[in-house]
Each structure stands twice: as structure tokens, then as C-alpha cells.
Amino acid sequence: MDQSKIDALRDQSVFPQSHLIDGKHVPASDGAAMDVLSPLDGRMLTTVAKGTVADMEAAIASARAAFDDRRWAGQPPAARKKILMKWADLIEANALELAVLGVRDNGTEIGMAIKAEPGSAAGTIRYYAEALDKVYGEIAPTQGDVLGLIHKEPVGVVGAIIPWNFPLMIGAWKLGPALAMGNSVVLKPAETASLSLMRMVELAQEAGLPPGALNAVTGEGAVVGEAMGLSMDVDVLVFTGSGGTGRRLMEYAARSNMKRVYLELGGKSPNIIFADAPDLDEAAKVAAHGIFRNAGQVCVAGSRLLVEASIHDDFVAQVAKVAQGMRVGDPLSLKTAIGAVNSETQLRQNLGFVDTATNEGGQVRMGGSRILQETGGYFMEPTIITGVTPEATIAQKEVFGPVLGVSAFDTDDDAIRIANSTVYGLAGAVWTSNLSRAHRMVRGVRTGVMHVNTYGGADGTVPLGGVGQSGNGHDKSLHALEKYINLKTAWIKL
């Protein structure tokens, strides 16, 4: 990647953004707009339309019309595949523009963003484009003069609410399988990270996706998100974000048409280090990167470090050494390892967790403060807090920032008990050379994803989903298609 090309894009003007409804750019029905503040310097980048209930209803009506007349669902699989493939190609061709725009909007360091955002999104769209003509119905093993057929049909209108930390990657996790199966989609980006996702929707239209098959409405979750959740014309709702919002969406579904709701919510993922780990230096490096990259704003971040007591002090020192070598600063510099916190609100929340941790007896081993305040941006030191008990707030609540809580354990059972002591169950890891122990930990820790001697490694071929209050349903892999299809039985007398 060329720094000069990044620098050429960093100050490009960003035009005010409108909704995309029925293939057209549409302003908010009352003309209102929201300022977009860049976390890099706190300055206004542009504005986005501040959607109204009427705007969301118009987008849903467009999606419903597009589904009912089958302008997308009725296309042959080969035709849908061709359009989705072209969309993936356009994302790839515009990758640097998308990545830089996203970084200016949400603060992710460019070295991570270029791969995790447009790179991942293009790969995901391409994966589901390849898969869509390989989804078959079934013939039931009936007896006598009856034929039982099981059809797999699109569900209809999908509402997708996308978070701000990885809008393109997570957006593609929803859009890829939903569109591949022939559904129409209404997209609601996060208030603090709409720009790159709206551009990706424009590229879908350039690729030939018919009007109404994909609509996008920007605005406040409390207004347009609620309108989506309460709509009688949305058949499936998919969401990645906080548990509080997830609960509200489930309530909205119950109050409206009992739409299916799939949630990928918070995590408090344990990274468990045994003294017999095959490479403790590598484990320390991966542990630091697993919590501090993207300023800790990663759903599966290894935010709880559980270390066997016999190596606790030395291992924490090694993690701190790695963290001290990770440069915090300008997210558009290729030399930066840790970018900006997404917003001032999020930064204040992170610092509040540090204060709470120390008040509850934790010790700040390193970091704990806001830095680079002179830039106007939202930057925080990588922070390590030791002496964290399983009951501590920082061990129970998702911080979603560059804050690592460390706890010691003595036995395998202790590690499993501490790992399972939260309401979450999204991800986790164990580092050990003992194969039997590795299998016991994979079996014993309640989580949707468990790593062994690594952290964060997984591609689109395997599912991502949580247990407990980390949500339900799965993104990624062929299993994600299940959220976006209905099974219909045809019972035929011969």
C-alpha cells in the first residue's frame, strides 16, 4: 500500500449524503441533516440525512414492491450471481477510496481497514455469489403415492442495522447472503459511520442491482431504527451492536409482526494463557493485538486476559512491552498500529471504565488516559489493568475500547469458571501445548468461537455467532444463508 495515495485521499471533500431509496438519492423528508465529525481531529467531515419515520417507511415500501414484483428474486441464479460478482469487483476496484473514507469516519487504522473493510466485503459478496446457485431444495422420503418437496424461498424484506466499528465487513455479512437468496434489503448504517457503507450501496446500483432491492436510510437509531423494528412489512431483522439495542429490537418484533430477529451482540471474550503455551512471546504479541488493534473496538476482542498464576507477572510484562511498541496516532498513517476511538462519547465511556476498575481494586499496569488531545481527535493509550476479579465491572461489562483486564488462575477448572462468569459468550482462546487440555477448554468454555494457540483467526467459511447474551444466529459461512430463507413444503398426491 502506498502512503502517497492515502495522503492524496485524506483531505478530499465529502459531499453531503442523502438516503438511497428506490435507486435514487433522497434527502430527509423534513430536510434535516446530521453533522459527521471525524474522530481523527474532531472536525466536521460532511453531513448525512437525518432520517424520519416517513423516510424509513418509504424505503421499506420500496423494498416490498421490489420483492413482490420479483425484479430481483425472480432473476435466474446465474443473473443474480453476475450482478453480485460485479459488485464485488467494484468494491475491490474502489478499495482504497472506501478504506480511507471509512477511516476518516470511524478511526480504524488504515493498515487494518484496507483488509478488514473493502477487502473483506468484496470477498464476502463474492463468496455468497458463488454459493447462491448451489442451494437446493429436497425430496422427502415419503411412502406410497405421495411426493413431498421442500422448497427454499427468500423470506421477503430484510432490515439490517450495521455498527460503526467495521461497517463494510459486517454490512457485507448481512447483505451478501440476504441478497444472494433473493431478498430485498433495507439498510440502516450507524450514526457515526455511514459514509463508506453508503458508498458501497451506490456501487451495488452501479453493478446492476435493481431499484428497491437495496435501500439505505441514515439517521438516529431511536427514530429510523425503531421504525424498522416496528414495521409490519419487514420480515427479518438482523443487527450487530449492543445488548440494550438488541433487547429493544426483540420488543419491537413482538409488538409488530413477530418478525424473526437475529442478533450479534456484545462480548467479554477470555484469552486464557497456560504456562505450557508453545510460545509465550507469540501469545503475548497476539494478546496485545487482540485487544488493542482498532482501539479495542472489535466485537470478538480478547478483553479478558486469564493467565496461569505461575507466569502471571512475567507474561503481563511481556504484553505491556508489546503494547508499548504499538504506535497510537494518525489512523491514515501506515506506521500507526492503534487508531482513534470512534467518538468522544465512546472515549469518555472508556475512561469511565478505567476509573471504575481502580475504584474496585484493580491496578493500572499501563495506560489509562486520553492522549494526543492537541489533535482534536479521540485517542486513548492502550491500557492494562491487573488484579481484576471475576465480579469486577470491567470483567462483566463490555468496554469496547483499548482496555485489557487481567486475572490470574491456578487450575483448568479455575480458568473455565472465570471464563464462564459473564453473561456473554462470543469468542475466546486458550494457549497450551497439552492437546487434551485444549479440547477440554474448547468444550468447557461457553462461547460461539474458540481459538487454540491463536486469536482472531477465521475466514468466511466458518460461522460467527454467540451464546448467552452475545446473541443468536450466525454470520459468515453457508450457515448464514439459513437466516434469509423460508422452508416451504409441497405435499403432492400422485
Q: List the catalytic residue out of 117, 191, 264, 308.
A: 264
Other CB atoms within 10 Å distance of the CB of residue 491:
10
For residue 43, CA distances in Å to 110, 339, 343 come to 19, 16, 11
CB 489 within 8 A of CB 137: no
Locate 68 and state its grid cell: 413482490
> Phi, psi at residue 113, to the nearest 5°?
-60, -40
- 73, 67, 61, 68: which is closest to 232 by C-alpha? 61
CA angle 260, 266, 272 (to 5 degrees): 130
CB 400 within 8 A of CB 315: no
Would you mind telling me the total number of residues written for the chain in this entry?
494
Burial 352-389 (b: 16+ CB within 10 A, else e): ebbeebeebebebbbbbebeeeeeebbbbbbbbbbbbe
Locate 298 and state its grid cell: 472489535
**Helix 195-207 and helix 95-106, axial crossing angle in degrees, nearest 10:** 150
Locate 400 and state its grid cell: 469496547
Whether 264 sits among the annotated catalytic residues: the reply is yes
Using a 10 angstrom Cβ sphere, with 0-12 exposed, 13-18 middle and 19 or more buried, the burial of residue 23 is middle
Catalytic positions are: 264
